[in-house]
């Protein structure tokens, strides 16, 4: 046991010495463990999250349904009360908007029938709403029980036994998103970036979260899935492409599948042999088969086959890379070829011809299968199964530098103007000086073959089959981690404040903004975060914070939408019932008040007439048969008038009669002491004139009829 410890200690010292000899020491690093779980775990997680949202919606709907039910019950009770009120009051007509929604006037019997019918409908509506409310509460309870069962099932699926079984299947192909390098953030958090990476395991296709290593989705049942082992993977923007031994390429639209329960393939492209290499950009998809040919598909034309180049190599093409007008292929024949692509207006990619041939073997190049190639401008970097790295000059097809970087095959290559970053099957990652070919750095953090690599000038990201993702920070950059955002249309400093949780004063300070109107413009590269903690940990904390804020905002908007919809419905319901009952009550009160006012007016008139007649009797005068305060047009019936329908003529005649009586009576009273007989004659003549006036009024009414 003691000897084993000494041997291990010796190995550690040798490892430390090797790193010191090869460079100034490894860069600071952080690691993320990649989650390996059965295919059911992502589906269960998605189901639990969707159920949580469903429960929130149903609980809000339950509250609103309860409120609507109480409004309907109150309206039903008010209708009952108003029916009882109308039954106890004698009125001619009542206005209501309960029947048709608009204000209408009905006679009382008709209104009673219509209200009784509406009351029955409301009672049935209340019964149905009660059933719906109870059913909704039952659904909420059942969904909560389902979530409890899903949580128990998730615990079982994530148990030690199931996780061990899933981890036993080794990842074969791992690819990071190529568009993240263009956005200058390998973690995919800048605008336009993709915070995911993809991998294959046998014939299964898996999507992982780049920050946390969580399994987002795993394909296990799809009609277009591969039936045999997946040999190559390409991940560009939101689309992934997989090629397998079943002679097919499957297209996956990951933008639609991140929130769905299952991964779904959108298209399957059949080939004549096993697909060993696949590469894509904005306009074309290039695939390489085991029959030494490669195919070009139009991305904008729904992946229609546009060109096939047969016998491109003497042996199978194993790797691809391309630009808008060049395609580079590396094969098992130790040769790298550069193809020039030309298109015409009628036929895209019509001409594909060999531009340069970078040969190996006895020509001094590669002597084994070429496993990866990358090119930029006029330089091309290639790696083979022996760990040899070669830098080529494309215009002259001359080797510029060679570097035996690894003991085993090269799996991934990235380079910039000064350095080459490459990974290998020997579990290491190396940084090579592109001008001299010397190794500047070597990282030994992984315990399994490193299958993917990406860099953006500040960070290096590597992923291996040992379920680990490592992020290395460039020593030449500042120790503080900076994060940038390209200002898009419609965005402002307030938008960035809410999105990244930073103050506007900090944004102005970091980006040297003094005048927002002059210094902020569309497409501006703005620093939105800076932390001395650096790397993955800081980004994870920021991501969790943003995720919680986003969920809270979305939940608030969704619940407000539901609340406003139900609130509007309930308010309309309450307003309709309230207006209908209010109209009935107002009409009843109005007619009752009018009747009471008429009765009071008649009583006052009668009291005044009786008082005046009593005074006249005291003076010894005969009581007045006609009074100027007598209103024969409202309640009293004129004994001299017929039952004609011309109310205007009758009322005008009565008014004339009253005026005549009013003009004659004072003169008669003034002469009553001297000429009593004359007063009697005047009274008789007045009565005769009133009789004649009434006869003329009734005759005129008959003529008008």
pLDDT-derived band at 329, boundaries 50, 70, 90: very high
pLDDT at position 271: 93
The CA–CA distances, whole Å, from 436 to 14, 167, 391, 403, 405 equal 26, 41, 10, 9, 13
Among 308, 302, 304, residue whose Cα is nearest residue 289: 308
Among 565, 503, 561, residue whose Cα is nearest residue 528: 503
- List Cβ<8 Å contacts ≥24 apart for 616-620: none
Examine the pLDDT at 703 and tell me if it is beyond 90: no
Kindly provide the residue ranges of all beta strands, DSSP E only, lying in 290-418, ordered along the sequence.
294-298, 304-309, 317-322, 326-331, 336-342, 351-358, 370-376, 379-384, 388-393, 398-404, 410-415
Of 154-163, 281-290, 318-327, the poorest mean pLDDT is in 154-163
pLDDT at position 639: 41
Of 74-88, 215-229, 562-576, the poorest mean pLDDT is in 562-576
Of 24-38, 243-257, 330-344, 405-419, the poorest mean pLDDT is in 24-38
User: Per residue in 502-533, pLDDT tens?
Assistant: 888 888 888 889 888 888 888 788 888 765 44
pLDDT-derived band at 705, boundaries 50, 70, 90: very low
**Cα-to-chain-centroid distance, residue 660:** 85
The CATH number of domain 40-161 is 1.10.287.370:
yes
pLDDT at position 220: 67
Q: Which is more confidently placed, 458 or 683?
A: 458
What is the C-alpha to C-alpha distance for residues 338 and 356, in angstroms, rounded to an integer?
A: 5
Average pLDDT estimate for 593-622 = 84
Burial call 507-527: b when 16+ CB within 10 Å, e when fewer: bbebbebeeeeeebeeeeebb
Q: Greatest CA separation found in the chain?
A: 163
User: Per residue in 41-90, pLDDT tens?
Assistant: 888 888 898 898 889 888 888 887 887 888 788 778 877 877 777 776 66
- Domain borders along the chain are 40-161, 172-270, 273-404, 481-531, 630-705
pLDDT-derived band at 106, boundaries 50, 70, 90: confident
pLDDT at position 691: 41
Q: What is the 3-state secondary structure (H, E, C) of 142-193?
A: HHHHHHHHHHHHHHHHCCHHHHHHHHCCCCCEEEECCHHHHCCCCCCCCCCC
Q: Supply 690's token pair.
A: 């009133």
Residues 116, 99: contact at Cβ < 8 Å? no
pLDDT at position 544: 80
Which of 335-339, 686-690, 694-698 is predicted most confidently? 335-339
Q: Is the dihedral of CA 694, 700, 704, 705 positive or negative?
A: positive
pLDDT at position 525: 81
What is the C-alpha to C-alpha distance for residues 596 and 594, in angstroms, rounded to an integer?
A: 5
Average pLDDT estimate for 591-611 = 84
The CATH number of domain 273-404 is 1.10.1040.50:
no
Q: Would 172-270 and 481-531 be classified into the same CATH topology?
A: no
Among 251, 291, 252, 256, residue whose Cα is nearest residue 271: 291
pLDDT-derived band at 571, boundaries 50, 70, 90: low
Model pTM greater than 0.85? Answer: no
Q: What is the 3-state secondary structure (H, E, C) of 207-220?
A: EEECCCCCEEEECC
What is the C-alpha to C-alpha distance for residues 209 and 89, in angstroms, rounded to an integer?
A: 75
pLDDT at position 38: 84
Q: Supply 154's token pair.
A: 């998730």
pLDDT at position 534: 52
Burial call 621-657: b when 16+ CB within 10 Å, e when fewer: eeebebbeebebeeeeebebbeebebeebbeebbeeb
The CATH number of domain 172-270 is 2.40.10.480:
yes
pLDDT at position 673: 40
CATH number of the structural domain 481-531: 3.10.350.10
Average pLDDT estimate for 263-291 = 91
**Hey, is 68 helix, strand or coil?**
helix
Of 168-172, 303-307, 408-412, the poorest mean pLDDT is in 168-172
Of 226-240, 565-579, 605-619, 625-639, the poorest mean pLDDT is in 625-639
Report the percent of the chain where pLDDT is more than 70.
75
pLDDT at position 676: 41
Examine the pLDDT at 684 and tell me if it is beyond 70: no
Examine the pLDDT at 459 and tell me if it is beyond 90: no
pLDDT at position 112: 79
pLDDT at position 654: 42
The CA–CA distances, whole Å, from 344 to 287, 306, 325, 347 equal 22, 12, 13, 5
Q: Please report how many Cα atoms fall inside a 13 Å half-sphere around the Cα of residue 96, on the Cβ side.
A: 25
The CA–CA distances, whole Å, from 554 to 46, 194, 559 equal 17, 21, 8
Q: Is residue 703 within a helix (H) or strand (E), and if so which, with residue range? A: helix 676-704
């Amino acid at each position: 046991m003691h000897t084993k410890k000494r041997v291990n200690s010796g190995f550690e010292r040798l490892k430390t010495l090797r790193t010191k000899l090869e460079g100034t020491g490894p860069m600071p690093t952080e690691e993320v463990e990649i989650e390996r779980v059965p295919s059911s775990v992502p589906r269960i997680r998605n189901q639990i999250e969707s159920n949580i949202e469903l429960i929130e919606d149903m609980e809000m709907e339950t509250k609103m349904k309860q409120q609507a039910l109480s409004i309907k019950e109150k309206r039903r009770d008010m209708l009952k009360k108003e029916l009882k009120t109308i039954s106890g009051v004698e009125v001619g007509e009542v206005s209501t908007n309960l029947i048709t929604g608009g204000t209408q006037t009905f006679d009382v019997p008709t209104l009673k029938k219509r209200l009784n019918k509406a009351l029955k409908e409301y009672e049935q509506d209340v019964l149905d709403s009660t059933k719906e409310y109870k059913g909704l509460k039952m659904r909420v309870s059942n969904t909560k029980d389902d979530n409890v069962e899903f949580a128990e099932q998730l615990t079982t699926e994530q148990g030690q036994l199931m996780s061990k079984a899933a981890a036993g299947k080794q990842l074969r192909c791992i690819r990071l998103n190529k568009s993240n390098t263009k956005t200058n953030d390998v973690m995919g958090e800048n605008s336009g970036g993709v915070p995911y990476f993809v991998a294959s395991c046998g014939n299964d296709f898996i999507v992982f979260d780049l920050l946390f290593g969580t399994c987002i989705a795993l394909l296990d049942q799809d009609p277009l899935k591969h039936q045999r082992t997946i040999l190559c993977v390409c991940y560009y923007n939101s689309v992934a492409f997989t090629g397998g031994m079943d002679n097919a390429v499957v297209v996956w639209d990951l933008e639609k599948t991140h929130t769905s329960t299952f991964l779904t393939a959108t298209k399957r492209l059949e080939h004549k042999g096993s697909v060993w290499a696949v590469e894509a950009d904005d306009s074309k998809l290039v695939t390489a088969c085991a029959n030494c040919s490669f195919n070009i598909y139009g991305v904008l034309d729904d992946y229609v086959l546009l060109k096939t180049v047969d016998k491109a190599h003497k042996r199978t093409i194993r790797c691809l890379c391309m630009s808008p007008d060049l395609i580079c292929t590396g094969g098992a024949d130790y040769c790298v070829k550069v193809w020039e692509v030309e298109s015409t207006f009628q036929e895209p990619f019509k001409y594909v011809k060999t531009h340069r041939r970078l040969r190996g073997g006895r020509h001094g190049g590669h002597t084994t299968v070429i496993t990866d190639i990358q090119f930029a401008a006029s330089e091309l970097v290639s790696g083979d199964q022996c760990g040899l790295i070669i830098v080529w000059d494309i215009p002259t097809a001359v080797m510029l530098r060679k570097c035996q970087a690894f003991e085993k095959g090269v799996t991934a290559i990235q380079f910039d103007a000064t350095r080459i970053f490459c990974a290998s099957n020997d579990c290491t990652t190396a940084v090579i000086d592109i001008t001299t070919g010397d190794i500047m750095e070597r990282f030994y953090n992984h315990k399994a073959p490193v299958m993917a690599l990406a860099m953006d000038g500040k960070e290096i990201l590597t992923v291996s089959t040992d379920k680990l993702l490592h992020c290395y920070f460039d020593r030449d950059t500042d120790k503080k981690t900076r994060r940038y955002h390209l200002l898009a249309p419609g965005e402002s400093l307030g938008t960035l404040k809410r999105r990244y949780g930073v103050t506007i004063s900090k944004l102005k300070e970091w980006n040297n903004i003094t005048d927002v109107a002059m210094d902020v413009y569309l497409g501006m590269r703005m620093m939105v975060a800076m932390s001395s903690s650096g790397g993955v940990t800081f980004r994870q904390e920021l991501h969790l914070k943003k995720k919680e804020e986003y969920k809270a905002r979305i939940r608030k908007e969704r619940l407000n939408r539901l609340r406003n919809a139900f609130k509007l419905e309930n308010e309309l319901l309450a307003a309709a019932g309230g207006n209908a009952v209010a109209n009935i009550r107002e009409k009843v009160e109005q007619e009752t008040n009018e009747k009471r006012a008429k009765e009071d007016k008649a009583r006052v008139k009668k009291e005044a007439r009786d008082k005046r007649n009593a005074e006249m009797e005291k003076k010894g005068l005969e009581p007045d048969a006609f009074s100027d305060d007598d209103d024969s047009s409202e309640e009293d019936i004129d004994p001299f008038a017929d039952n004609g329908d011309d109310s205007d003529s009758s009322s005008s005649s009565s008014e004339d009669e009253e005026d005549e009586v009013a003009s004659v009576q004072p003169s008669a009273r003034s002469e009553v002491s001297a000429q009593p007989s004359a007063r009697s004659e005047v009274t008789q003549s007045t009565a005769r004139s009133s009789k004649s006036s009434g006869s003329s009024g009734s005759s005129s009414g008959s003529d008008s009829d």
